[in-house]
Amino acid sequence: MLIDELKCLKRITGRGKHTDLTRLAHAGRLKGGLSASLRATPDEVIGPLTFAMGGEAKLLRVLDVRTGPPLMIEIQAGELTEKWEVVDVPGLVHNLNDLYRAAPEVKAIAVLGEWADMLQLWCVERSVLPTLLQRRVLDSALNAPTLWKLIEPPERD
């Protein structure tokens, strides 16, 4: 049962009757759960997302934003400067997860889906991510295939 798995992994707080991840995130019961307005644009949520991811993600700087479509965000992460074209928040999540793929102290972001006119997201510690995936807790995440790729060992050149 989902609730039992989350309790075992210490990823849930409080009590309630909700039994799916989107509702748990919206209710504030998932540790690291976030809700974003469906109308929110990537440039509006990049700050809260990188803060929630923690580690070196908190140092990411937004250098420029150009409205689109698609929206273009120029970021600086350490010595790296990139321009991202992002259509929506899940697209931004994809870029952030990819950018910090090799940073074990930075949490991965799962896109759980929509609930109560909000996009439900979950920032998960990398140490717990493999267990959540293997126990099929994140099967319903919209970006589950990407999350699986995050736990694969990096390819050698």
Residue 3 confidence (pLDDT): 86
Distance CA 157, CA 155 (A): 7
pTM above 0.75, yes or no: yes
* pLDDT tier at 79, thresholds 50, 70, 90: very high
pLDDT over 70, % of the chain? 97
Q: How confident is the model at residue 136 (pLDDT cuts 50, 70, 90)?
A: very high
- Show me where the domains of the chain are located: 2-8+18-135
Assess whether pLDDT exceeds 80 at residue 156.
no
pLDDT digits (tens, 9 = 90+) for 108-127: 999 999 999 999 999 999 99
The mean pLDDT value for 27-31 works out to: 94
Q: What are phi and psi of 86, to 5 degrees?
A: -130, 135
**Helix, strand, coil percentages for the chain (3-state, nearest 5):** 35, 25, 40
